[in-house]
Amino acid sequence: MNPAQVEFLAENQTIQITPNFSHDRLYLICGEVGPFRPGIPVQVPLWMAINLKQRQKCRITAPEWMTVETLVKIKEDEGQSKTFTPMPDEHYMVTTQLILGAAPHDIANTDEIRILVKDIWDMRIAKLRSSVDAFLKIGGSLAKVDHLTPMEINTVRPFLPHALDQLFRLRQVWRKTLPTIRPNKFIQQAYNHREMASNSPDPSKIRRLISHVRKPLVFRGLIESWPMLKFSQNDWDNLFRQMVLECRVGSRNSRGDQPQWEGESDNIKCTYSEFIKWSENSGDVCNPEMSSLETDKHFLYYGYKYMKDIFDSEVLRMTEWKAFGYPEKNGAESTFWMGTAGAHTPCHYDTYGCNLVAQLSGRKRWILFPPEDTDFLKPTRVPYEESSVYSRINFEKWIGTIPNISGTHPHVVDLVPGDVLFVPRHWWHHVRNEELSISINTWLELSNDDQEARLHESLVKFLVAHTCRNLQPNVVSELLNPNEEDMTYADLDEIQNFVHYSFKALKDNEADGRNVPEDVDALPDEPWILPVVCNESFEPKVKKARSADAHSKIVVLDVVRAFCHPRVIETVSQILKNEFKT
**Is 487 within the bounds of a domain?**
yes
Answer yes or no: is pLDDT of 464 > 90: yes
- 518 belongs to a structural domain: no
Which tens digit of pLDDT belongs to each residue from 311-323? 999 999 999 999 9
- Lowest-pLDDT choice from 107-116, 257-266, 408-417, 550-559: 550-559
Query: Based on the domain organization, do 347 and 376 belong to the same domain?
Result: yes
pLDDT of residue 8: 86
Pair (335, 467) in one structural domain: no
Tell me if 189 is assigned to some domain: yes
DSSP readout, 354-374? Answer: EEEEEEEES-EEEEEE-GGGG
Q: Are residues 146 and 15 in the same domain?
A: yes
Report d(CA 131, CA 214) in Å as an integer.
47
Residue 330: its pLDDT value, please? 94
Domain shared by 215 and 310, yes or no: yes
**Residue 426 pLDDT level (bands cut at 50, 70, 90):** very high
Mean pLDDT of 344-362: 94
Q: Is the pLDDT of residue 360 over 70?
A: yes
Rounded mean pLDDT, 374-397: 94
Q: Decide if pLDDT at 194 tops 50.
A: no
Q: What pLDDT shows up at residue 142?
A: 59
In this prediction, residue 189 has a pLDDT band, given cuts at 50, 70 and 90, of very low
Confidence of residue 180 (pLDDT cuts 50, 70, 90): very low
Same-domain check for residues 256 and 305:
yes
**Residue 439: Cβ-neighbour burial (10 angstroms; 0-12, 13-18, 19+):** buried
pLDDT over 80 (residue 478): yes
Q: How many CB atoms lie within 10 A of CB 165?
A: 13
Q: Of 402, 397, 421, nearest to 412 (Cα)?
A: 402
Contacts of 293 (CB under 8 A, 6+ apart): 249, 268, 278, 300
Cα(258)–Cα(482) distance, rounded to whole angstroms?
A: 18
Amino acid residing at 234: N
Across 14-23, 108-117, 122-131, least confident range: 122-131
- What confidence tens digit (pLDDT) does each residue in 26-76 have? 888 878 898 999 999 999 999 999 999 988 899 999 999 999 999 999 999
- Structure confidence at residue 177 (pLDDT): 41
Q: Which residue among 414, 445, 476 closes a domain?
A: 445
Number of domains in the chain: 3
Tell me: cis bond preceding 35? Omega within 30 of 0 counts.
Answer: yes
- Has residue 544 got a pLDDT over 60? no
Pick the range with the lowest mean pLDDT from 28-42, 98-112, 543-557: 543-557
Q: Of 490, 497, 494, which Cα lies nearest the Cα of 155?
A: 490
Average pLDDT of the chain is: 85
Measured CA distances, 20 to 36, 60, 101, 261 (Å): 8, 11, 20, 47
Q: How confident is the model at residue 173 (pLDDT cuts 50, 70, 90)?
A: low
Residue 494 sits in the same domain as residue 400: no
Instruction: Give pLDDT tens digits for 75-91.
Output: 999 888 888 899 999 88
% of residues, the chain, pLDDT over 90? 49
Q: Is the pLDDT of residue 140 over 80?
A: no
Query: How confident is the model at residue 2, as a pLDDT?
Result: 75
| 438 and 467 part of one domain | no
Task: Residue 77: give the domain boundaries.
Answer: 3-163
Q: Is residue 116 part of a domain?
A: yes
Same domain, 148 and 217: no
Is 277 found in the same domain as 298? yes
- Lowest mean pLDDT across 14-23, 477-486, 499-508, 558-567: 499-508
As a dihedral over the C-alpha atoms of residue 115, residue 118, residue 124, residue 130, rounded to 10 degrees, the angle is -110
Query: Is residue 33 domain-resident?
Result: yes
* Least reliable range by pLDDT among 46-60, 276-290, 387-401: 276-290
Q: What is the CATH number of the domain that holds 437?
A: 2.60.120.650
Q: Pick the residue with more confidence: 157 or 567?
A: 567
Task: Assess if residue 530 is contained within a domain.
Answer: no
pLDDT-derived band at 158, boundaries 50, 70, 90: low
Over residues 413-424, mean pLDDT? 95
Q: What pLDDT score does 169 carry?
A: 60
Query: Which of 445, 475, 498 delimits the end of a domain?
Result: 445
> Are residues 409 and 322 located together in one domain of the fold?
yes
pLDDT band at 165 (very low <50, low <70, confident <90, very high): low
Q: Is the pLDDT of residue 171 over 60?
A: no
Would you state the pLDDT for residue 167? 59
Of 492, 440, 437, 441, give the one whose Cα is nearest residue 464. 492
Residue ranges in 227-365 assigned as alpha helix (H): 233-240, 272-279, 307-310, 313-316
* Cβ–Cβ < 8 Å for 242, 258: no
Q: Of 114-123, 263-272, 533-542, which range is least confident?
A: 533-542
Shared domain for 124 and 45, answered yes or no, is yes
Domain boundary among 411, 430, 445: 445
- The whole-number average pLDDT for the span 494-501 is 89
When pLDDT is cut at 50, 70 and 90, the band that residue 149 belongs to is confident
In CATH, what number is assigned to the domain containing residue 84?
1.20.58.1020
Residue 172 lies in a domain: no
Residue with the bigger pLDDT between 466 and 3: it is 466
Residue 205 to residue 220: CA distance in whole angstroms: 15
43 and 143 both lie in a single domain? yes
Q: Is residue 106 part of a domain?
A: yes
pLDDT of residue 549: 43
